[in-house]
Structure 1
């Protein structure tokens, strides 16, 4: 395993836990274990866990609730009436119906954007896009995840970053993190979280233990079960996986994925969690294959 990773210069870190204990750690020479890593769209899965925590606390209504009941601005006459039919579940399963192209990654997907000024907000941009019938099809939509950030902020009175720190990170012992905000100060939902690789493992263990951590429930158990089950057939950018709630489903494992091969892998049957971070470029590192061949297959 170490030899295979050393041959892939783009891999920054690769950590494996079995039965809640870290059994393998690889860090490239220029990467310290305490270094915060940009996990890109793995952030989305953390947003999903925050939604599950809000359900557990009873501050969030059922998942089939239309989002416009929480965010009244979605009822503006200027928006397509279909916008009012988008539910929390649609956002979690990437089936909201908004027109989007996951291959288009502009500055406004990546962070605060000068294009969004007062009167032309990010929210208005998200809701003004063409929309098909919600629930009809999967479309990977980084912009729509921002609605869940606004939902968490509305029902808890805290930004998504603060709520995640209070309800997830602090109980898990995640002491260091950074999370960018948009141009109006709302936590970015589609990406922008930075964590240590070892703390990515803690989030994976929380998923493997169905939302419980050392005897304390942090996330609604039913939510975790549904999140890690197939909710749609999925599609680009992961054509070989299905989709749950803001996480991907492969035949033998569930995973959170971010651009540039950032991953959290969870294999409940084998009690294995792994986390990888890589240089954020388009050069493939093959870490999914390495995980299957050198971790899952080796554990048989």
Structure 2
């Protein structure tokens, strides 16, 4: 049976962001129960061995707050974390790998472009190749992640390309509006014994007709909820870029995620990777009510969700 735990649902910087005094961050400091770490998801077929989807800078705290990811009884050094599946090369997705350097075997899965970014940065050399293998993901080719000892995991993962942009720190290598193969992946996750399939799309620039058809009839979709409005960061005085320029679709509006993923027969829809500027993170906001009325949820940190 596929098991999924949401480790965090916020975008880069978390909620509240350490240096931000916007309305949302002030509200989160006043109500700690609403706070969220940066986006991360754990998946398992057996409840004993887990794979992380991305590794945010909050990963150490998230593992410590999630009992199923704790070292197993009777073992001095141990972790149920068998690997990390990277969907992009953003700092939000890869920086937490550096917190997994203490000598436990695991495997990093990623597109060749993202693995190349890691290989070019000597800092990631602390993840010694004798213990931390790196495996290339080929889009549209389902694979079964393996446990560190080579055993089957029972998971089936299929990565596919979605519209997106290069990581911010790599933008100098590409045209500002370029979309390069491998920069942003979505995942279709299931188990080898059948059962419902879940889509994880933590970043997405727009919903194309092909993507909409791929998601039609899905049991569950966890989808990019970075910004409520495309000009949200500019309007709040937080940044000069639009969501579209950053490679993120808006939640609202005629071309937003709510509208574009309506009427596709998706059984359960959840937003993840939600920016601190987005009122969707505030439980009593009008925007949260609007999203919920349209059939969407914002998961709690540490929540196990079932397809």
Does the pair score TM above 0.5? no
TM-score, normalised to structure 2, is 0.23
The answer to which structure has the higher helix fraction is: 1
Higher share of residues assigned strand: 2
Per chain length, whose mean CA-contact separation is higher, i.e. which structure has more relative contact order (CA < 8 Å, sep 6+)? Answer: 1
TM-score by length of 1: 0.24
